[in-house]
Amino acid sequence: MSNKTITYTKKFPEKPITMIVGFPAGGGSDLLARSLEKVSIKHLGQPLMIVNKPGGSGTIGLNELVRSNPDGYVLSITTPEAIVMPLYGQAKYQYVSALDPIAQISNASIAMVIQADTPWQNVDELIQYAKQHPGELKFGHSGIGSVTHIIGERFIREADINIQQVPFRGGPEVVIALLGKHIQIGFVPIMAIKEQVLSGALRILAVASERRISDPKMDQIPTFKEQGLDIAFNYRYGIAAPKDLPPEVKTKLSEGFKSMILDPDFKKDMDALGLEIEYLGPKETQEQWLADNTKLAKTIQETGILDRIKEQKN
């Protein structure tokens, strides 16, 4: 983390702002960042420069953000991995305290998705198959310890089945593996697979949210809870900066990103991706981070997921 003193200028921003994405191009975080990029000049007066730094379930990009100068010119898209990875002792920093939130952008549903030509029509049919063929099925996720991994492990526990986990570097790699039939199940954010689902290449069996997706093209997809499984977690996307931004810079960024997030053109992009905008300001985002931190810490302890992930990490 930088200890440099940053001089604020009223002309901020005077140059493009780097937006780190800790996942590969084409994934949920990347698509969201590029939608923000389209409206950045209109609301900030400077473009966003998207830089993908995939790996470590998002922590490689977050580590670079923490080490960046707190001058407002380096930001990052955040996901719940910023909260959960330190809980395993696998991250260099406690991101909840090492970063300054700028805004929460949206909530996304995590989907359990399968190949469209597989015979299972609902979660129960998949569970019955898995029980009859223990260890045969594989599920893909965005990296050991990621939220998609947690949801997959929670599904295994709730369903009392034996299926294998396969880590990838992000949602796009999971989708490629699914389409190539290297795995049978994927846990990914809706926005990373909406196109393939609507085209008929992939099919969603359940979403891990409290309520169904509001998109009329996908509102027929049931939640896990509707199918008798206690699995629900909202996947929140946000924006963060290094700690200790000058107050004037933080205010300018928070006001600018609020305008961007509420821009009708940005909303159209989010609707097309299947993302529901749920804006929160810096203070409210920090409070949400702390609440999610408590919830996730309790979940991974009570379910035994923490020990299992540590074993798999080793």
The domains spanning 17-107+235-300 and 110-233 adopt the same CATH topology = yes
Rounded CA separation 173/88 (Å): 24
Determine the topology of domain 17-107+235-300 in CATH: D-Maltodextrin-Binding Protein; domain 2 (3.40.190)
Determine the topology of domain 110-233 in CATH: D-Maltodextrin-Binding Protein; domain 2 (3.40.190)
pLDDT digits (tens, 9 = 90+) for 57-116: 889 999 999 999 999 999 999 999 899 989 988 788 999 999 999 999 998 889 999 999
**Which distant-in-sequence residues (6+ apart) come within 8 Å of 268 by Cβ?**
none
**Residue of 157, 146, 110 whose CA lies nearest to 303:** 157
Q: Domain spans of the chain?
A: 17-107+235-300, 110-233
- Per-residue pLDDT of the chain (314 residues), as tens digits, is 445 444 555 689 999 999 999 988 988 899 999 999 999 999 999 999 999 999 888 899 999 999 999 999 999 999 998 999 899 887 889 999 999 999 999 988 899 999 999 999 999 999 999 999 999 999 999 887 788 988 998 899 999 999 999 999 888 899 999 999 999 999 998 888 888 999 999 999 999 988 898 888 888 999 999 999 999 888 899 999 999 999 999 999 999 999 999 999 999 999 888 788 999 999 999 999 999 899 888 878 877 778 876 776 66
